[in-house]
């Protein structure tokens, strides 16, 4: 019952500093018509939710140093020439040249992550040529402005022939444009395929794709299973584009076999390269030129340069905060490199919208305005942050090994000094040091010198570093901490702008960037829908089993948050907007990602919502080390969250039909090695490396094995999952199970030709899983997928 979490006599009155006063929760509840005893009144319940997904993907080129673009670009650069000259003249240490040469020559696997590709321009179909010409415009909405000023960097002369030189993120778009051109007079392929071109983009280092259509979350579609199905098919779609480009554009023939896969971490070799080149040269090699997805690509490219500069500066500033926090106590530190590589992290963002809230915000007569949306949205996000530890390592993860020499706090803690209060940062670091296998004679050691000394000490003392279940959440700025003056989630309009102003002046952030939050309100005026974006997902092992189930839980918790608010169980007063309270709840998320067993909460924490959860948390006791604090086990806290859901969301679970969801979640929590995403991903990595434990391998061996596992076995498994859904679509279209117009039926018949659908699917599947798909079959399969997508989109629009 709701009363179990209710607090007595809590006044829902207006608070604040006089700036942008927020409406009361009671006013928002009344306008939305929320009733905690009537689930159908709650946003995100039943068929109210819609969802979309954005995936960041890792790419690589397999080829020799002489064939791949990345090593050639380095060797042909003025930076490389200047390093050699300065080293010969004695103006700089020869180490810079030696390290760079080691990167180029010491590549046994001959895999070059995030390399560009180059191929003859003549290999492109005319439709792809026209697409390229349009994307090279300075402003796609104003052709009179001419071409981009950097157009020349995309063309090179080789063997007397003009070659195109582009990142793989843009190769995907040109490959699709080429396939559309090959489709000839097929109207559906041309129309829908052209729409899909805009869904292939990149604004960081890695290619990104986002949902080809908005998914309606209904019982008929299976809720999260529908989003997982769309994501799996979209992943296979990108694989087919890569296979098509490898053959059609002669990339494989020219020693540049491209690969695309899910991988959450920046590659090890890219980290090594980053440490021996300047930040400006790193950006030239790896920052996307933003050819696709943006009207003014050069302006977007400059914005990404800004992001890289700001995060690099912010990482440097974190060292000073660690000094102030008392974590760094000497003047001997390992200074972070001036080029931060965190933008090469890859994750998945799941956005979920409420049809009810979007409809009301689009209707002025409803009285529900952006002020009310902001008040409720920030509060729902704060409630959700308490539940985020349920998702980390259970549904997604990013297993990673740190060596002993990586355990300098200024390296290991990453952006955490900007995300946690000093008190929680010290507590987390102490517990992390205790957890790591860096002990000698029972005492925890930390590295203290240059890398070669740390390596010797670590080897002599048999210090093995640590294993992190989800390192991506530690190595990337997930949730920047509010300031005493400006809170990011206090329910007032434009609070993010005020926070960015403060962080800008502190040298932590730039006010031109978007504030990072793990669960972020998506405002109707900006996005065209009202909802939330989940940004805490790292690597999924399965689409349906992990992404689909996580989406179900996300939707359930959204509805539960609105129910608790409607019942008066939580308000902005229950979860105060102070940096300490923010840090207190977010430390649980980060601690779960690191894998430490405990966290600490002040006995008199002003976060009354957290206190109600702790009352249900078993084995909690008073801390002996920290007077006035409670010692809480992460595992027991997560089980308490599950108990809260079972008690407070019982009718929601029944209404959704999610009884099996909570049973599955409990298995993931109680048997993480077998059922959790982190456990399954780690098992795959260990099998790849031929080890029984992460500590049976060095940190470098484990992390390289992880990269190979993501690139090979996991990629094949995910291709197979996507293929199952695509084969079902094709069989349904060809067999008449899906009603097709006469024009569509003619297109399907023209694509299949005289070949029977069963024979086509068998042949294509064998070629696909054998990584030997002929470009003609890849094009045919892509064209059929485009037609199936057209049908999916129409069905989804009809259900909206």
Distance, CA of 291 to CA of 300 (rounded, Å): 9
- How many Å apart are CA 376 and CA 440, to the nearest integer? 51
Cβ atoms of 599 and 429 within 8 Å: the answer is no
Backbone angles phi, psi at 352, to 5 degrees: -130, 125
pLDDT of res. 786: 96
Q: pLDDT at position 10, please?
A: 31
d(CA 775, CA 679): 37
From residue 618, alpha-carbon distances to 348, 604, 628 in Å are 33, 18, 18
> Tell me, what's the pLDDT at 500?
92
Question: DSSP assignment, residue 696?
Answer: G
728-763 CB burial, b ≥16 within 10 A, e <16: ebbeebbeeebebeeebeebbeebbeeeebeebbee
SS3 334: coil
The pLDDT, as a whole number, for residue 335 is: 65
Residue 771, C-beta contacts closer than 8 angstroms, at least 6 positions apart: 243
Q: pTM (2 decimals)?
A: 0.94
- Give domain limits for the chain: 2-56+347-399+468-669, 58-68+110-261+706-799
Measured over all CA atoms, what is the biggest interatomic distance in the chain, rounded to whole angstroms? Answer: 81
Mean pLDDT by 10 residues, the chain (800 residues): 34 44 94 97 96 97 97 96 90 87 94 97 96 96 94 95 97 97 87 96 88 93 94 98 97 97 96 92 94 93 91 85 85 73 93 97 97 97 98 98 91 92 96 92 80 84 94 94 93 93 88 92 96 98 98 98 96 96 98 98 97 97 96 98 98 95 98 98 98 96 98 97 96 86 90 90 93 93 96 81
CA angle 300, 302, 308 (to 5 degrees): 105
Angle subtended by helix axes 168-182 and 126-135, to nearest 10: 140
Angle formed by the axes of helices 168-182 and 187-196, to 10°?
A: 170
């Amino acid at each position: 019952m709701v009363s179990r979490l209710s607090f007595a006599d809590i006044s829902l009155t207006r608070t604040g500093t006089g700036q942008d006063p927020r409406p009361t929760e009671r006013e928002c509840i009344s306008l939305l018509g929320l009733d905690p005893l009537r689930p159908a009144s709650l946003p995100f319940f039943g068929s109210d939710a819609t969802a979309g997904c954005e995936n960041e993907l890792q790419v690589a080129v397999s080829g020799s140093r002489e064939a791949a673009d990345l090593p050639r670009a380095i060797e042909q650069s003025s930076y490389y020439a200047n390093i050699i000259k300065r080293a010969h003249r004695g103006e700089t240490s020869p180490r810079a040249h030696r390290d760079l040469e080691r990167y180029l020559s010491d590549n046994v696997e001959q895999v070059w992550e995030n390399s560009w590709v180059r191929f003859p321009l003549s290999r492109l179909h005319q439709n792809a040529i026209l697409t390229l010409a349009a994307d090279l415009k300075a402003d796609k909405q104003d052709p009179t402005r001419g071409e981009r000023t950097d157009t020349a960097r995309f063309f090179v002369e080789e063997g007397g022939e003009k070659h195109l030189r582009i990142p793989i993120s843009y190769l995907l778009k040109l490959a699709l444009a080429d396939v559309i051109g090959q489709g000839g007079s097929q109207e559906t392929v041309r129309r829908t395929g052209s729409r899909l071109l805009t869904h292939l983009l990149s604004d960081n280092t890695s290619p990104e794709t986002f949902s080809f259509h908005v998914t309606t979350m209904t019982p008929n579609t299976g809720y999260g299973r529908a989003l997982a199905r769309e994501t799996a098919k979209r992943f296979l779609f990108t694989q087919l584009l890569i296979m098509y480009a490898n053959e059609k554009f002669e990339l494989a023939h020219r020693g540049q076999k491209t690969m695309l896969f899910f991988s959450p971490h920046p590659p090890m070799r890219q980290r090594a390269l980053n440490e021996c080149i300047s930040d400006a040269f790193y950006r030239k090699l790896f920052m996307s030129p933003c050819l696709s997805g943006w009207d003014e690509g050069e302006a977007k490219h400059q914005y990404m340069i800004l992001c890289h500069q700001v995060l690099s500066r912010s990482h440097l500033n974190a060292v000073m905060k660690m000094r102030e926090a008392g974590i760094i106590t000497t003047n001997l530190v390992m200074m972070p490199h001036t080029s931060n590589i965190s933008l090469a992290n890859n994750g998945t963002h799941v956005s979920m919208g409420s049809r009810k809230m979007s409809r009301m915000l689009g209707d002025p007569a409803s009285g529900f305005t952006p002020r009310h949306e902001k008040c409720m949205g920030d509060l729902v996000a704060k409630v959700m942050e308490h539940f985020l530890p349920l998702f980390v390592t259970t549904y997604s993860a990013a297993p990673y090994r740190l060596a002993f020499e990586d355990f300098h706090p200024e390296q290991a803690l990453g952006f955490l000094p900007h995300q946690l209060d000093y008190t929680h940062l010290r507590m987390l670091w102490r517990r992390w040091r205790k957890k790591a296998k860096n002990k000698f004679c029972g005492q925890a050691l930390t590295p203290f010198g240059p890398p070669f000394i740390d390596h010797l000490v670590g080897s002599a003392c048999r210090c093995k570093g640590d294993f992190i279940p989800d390192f991506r959440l530690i190595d990337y700025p997930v949730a920047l901490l509010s300031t005493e003056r400006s809170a990011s989630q206090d329910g007032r309009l434009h609070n993010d702008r005020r926070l960015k102003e403060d962080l800008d002046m502190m040298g932590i952030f730039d006010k031109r960037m978007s504030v990072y939050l793990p669960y972020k309100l998506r405002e109707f005026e900006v996005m065209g829908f009202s909802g939330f974006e989940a940004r805490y997902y790292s690597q999924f092992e399965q689409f349906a089993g992990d992404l689909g189930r996580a989406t179900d839980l996300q939707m359930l918790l959204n509805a539960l948050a609105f129910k608790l608010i409607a019942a008066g169980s939580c308000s902005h007063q229950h979860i105060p907007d102070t940096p300490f309270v923010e840090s207190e709840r977010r430390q649980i998320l980060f601690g779960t990602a690191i894998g430490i067993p405990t966290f600490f909460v002040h006995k008199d924490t002003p976060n009354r919502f957290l206190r109600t959860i702790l009352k249900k948390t078993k084995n909690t006791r008073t801390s002996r080390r920290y007077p006035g604090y409670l010692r809480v086990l992460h595992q027991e806290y997560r089980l308490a969250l599950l108990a809260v859901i079972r008690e407070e969301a019982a009718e929601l679970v029944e209404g959704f039909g999610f009884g099996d969801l909570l049973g599955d979640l409990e298995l993931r929590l109680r048997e993480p090695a077998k059922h959790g995403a982190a456990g399954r991903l780690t098992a795959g990595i260990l099998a790849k490396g031929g080890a029984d434990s992460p500590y049976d391998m060095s940190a470098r061996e484990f992390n390289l094995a992880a990269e190979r596992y993501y690139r090979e076995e996991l990629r094949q498994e995910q291709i197979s999952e996507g293929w199952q859904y695509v084969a079902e679509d094709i069989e349904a279209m060809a067999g008449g199970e899906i009603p097709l117009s006469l024009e569509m039926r003619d297109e399907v018949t023209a694509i299949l030709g005289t070949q029977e659908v069963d024979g086509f699917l068998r042949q294509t599947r064998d070629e696909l899983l054998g990584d030997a798909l002929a470009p003609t079959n890849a094009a045919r399969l892509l064209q059929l997928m485009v037609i199936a997508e057209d049908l999916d989109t129409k069905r989804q629009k009809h259900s909206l």
